[in-house]
Structure 1
Amino acid sequence: MSGGELAELISRIGDRVLPVVVQSVGGEVLTLAYANREALELTARTGYAHYYSRSMGRVRMKGEVSGNTQRVVEIRGDCDFDSLLYLVEQKGPACHMGYRTCFFRNAPGAERENVDYSLAVLRDLEDVIERRRREGGENSYTRSLFMKGREEVYKKFGEESIEVLLAQGRERIIYEGADMLYHFLVLLNLNGVKLSEIMSELSRRRR
């Protein structure tokens, strides 16, 4: 939504409360929230998602207590401008219950096809890797891997995989395994593959 369109929407919203679908920049639906004029103005001014809490009757910034903020990358309106879509960079879990998304439950009788959101740490790491690739400074190890190119990324993943195979003892396996998973996520990012796609493939194989 352009600045002019957003300003027009703010001027037209009146005393209405609009539903807001909140989606990560990676395409994952995170939650459904609500915004009135004040919330929309604060979101536009600060760049961070503010919502109208119907239960508390006030506007609040997402993550004002938990720290799990949402930086708004884009705001879109539907065809009638009576509902909104926020594309956000989520910090931490979006759900107050600690899940990556509020939509972690399956309808009774439905097949389970969604990601196991106990892997929220990996999803957060995936987001960090993407940000470091785009915005990391000179001292960013992640950015340096991407700058060195495909050969270096694949080499490091291979080295870390071997370290896991050679690790002696439970603690060492955990340590080296964490390194391997990090470098695997870097490799996935390099190839434009999301962790959710890997998890969906595993879910498909289970069926």
Structure 2
Amino acid sequence: MADGTVLPVIVDIEGGIRAGALMNRKAFSKSIETKVLWIVHPETGRVLPWEGDPLYISLIENKGFFSAQLPEGSSPIACELTDGEEDPELHENTALDAEKEKESRILYSLAETIARRKKEMPSGSYTTHLFEKGLEKIRKKVGEEAIELILAVSREDIVYESADLIYHLLVLLEAAGVDFHDLMAELERRDS
């Protein structure tokens, strides 16, 4: 699941128009799962749905590249991303900041970042994409992430899928208007 090999995806649009982008196994899997093309941003390496959420007719993996066919009238355009935002779907091995770990502030910090994304709605942000899709889409995404966690076998995949689930849960809380502090208070109550 954490295969980061990036290959080109050649996109044919009925009528002869051709476009190109980058795709890895994660983007390919997300495309198959959602029936919408997901790509890898060439500068940041983040996996996002191709802007405009183009549906495809076919998507196959070839030796050395991916190939997609879109219906006539589709016009995929390159996605623009907000610099500095980390994509929770990008599974890189990074060490947790020791200070944040000591203070147990990472969840608060992430919840604050998600709240800020909802308020600012920066273009090209994965978090913005989720908020634009609405509460039902976010609920579905939390369910998908829970299933991916259940199916994870290796320690590495369990860690990554757990992080994906927690991130999407925090997005769900924000979208549903549930204060993060209410969740933390409930967890604290259960710890006593």
TM range (shorter): 0.3 to 0.5
Structure ID, larger Rg = 1
Please report the TM-score for the alignment, with normalisation by the length of structure 1.
0.42
